[in-house]
Structure 1
Amino acid sequence: MDYNLMREFADSWGLVAMAIFLVGCIAFALRPGGKRQADQAAQIPLRQDP
């Protein structure tokens, strides 16, 4: 492929794909029940399991 064609693709559709991914990550972090799961995950290093 030609460099300019790949650059045009990255400038347009690559940016759209990254924006959709960012919105999805934010929506996943703010979903209902997410705080409880985040709190549980934060406590994993502090557990004293035998």
Structure 2
Amino acid sequence: MDSYSFLRELADSWVLLLLVLFFLGTVVFAFRPGSRPLHRDAAESIFRNENTPAAAREKEVE
């Protein structure tokens, strides 16, 4: 068996299985119970130092 055939067989079976398991593990990790506050904090972190709404800042610039 040449190396190309061996690597292709390996990629079609075990590597595919490992990648599917990695994907499912990542999804389970992202949607695990108790992670909602962490995701909300990360999503709102860019607004943490804002004191005025965006519309008011645009009027000040003009």
| TM-score band w.r.t. shorter chain | 0.7 to 0.9
- Backbone CA RMSD of aligned residues: 1.6
Ranked by relative contact order (alpha carbons within 8 Å, sequence separation 6 or more), the top structure is 1
* TM-superposition CA deviations, 1:1-46 (whole Å, max 9, x none): 7111111101000110011001101110111111111000001111
Among the aligned pairs, what percent are the same residue?
A: 37
Tell me the equivalent position of 2:4.
3
Segments of 4+ moved more than 6 angstroms: none
- In 1, distance between residues paired with 2:46 and 2:6? 47
Task: Specify the SS of the correspondent of 1:43.
Answer: helix
* Unaligned 5+ runs, structure 1: none
Q: Does 1:15 align with 2:20?
A: no
Uncovered stretches (5+) of structure 2, i.e. residues with no partner: 51-62
Deviation at 1:47, TM superposition (A): 1.6
Q: Which has the larger Rg?
A: 2
How many pairs are equivalent? 49
User: Please, what TM-score do these two structures have when normalized by structure 1?
Assistant: 0.84
The residue matched to 1:31 in structure 2 has which SS?
coil
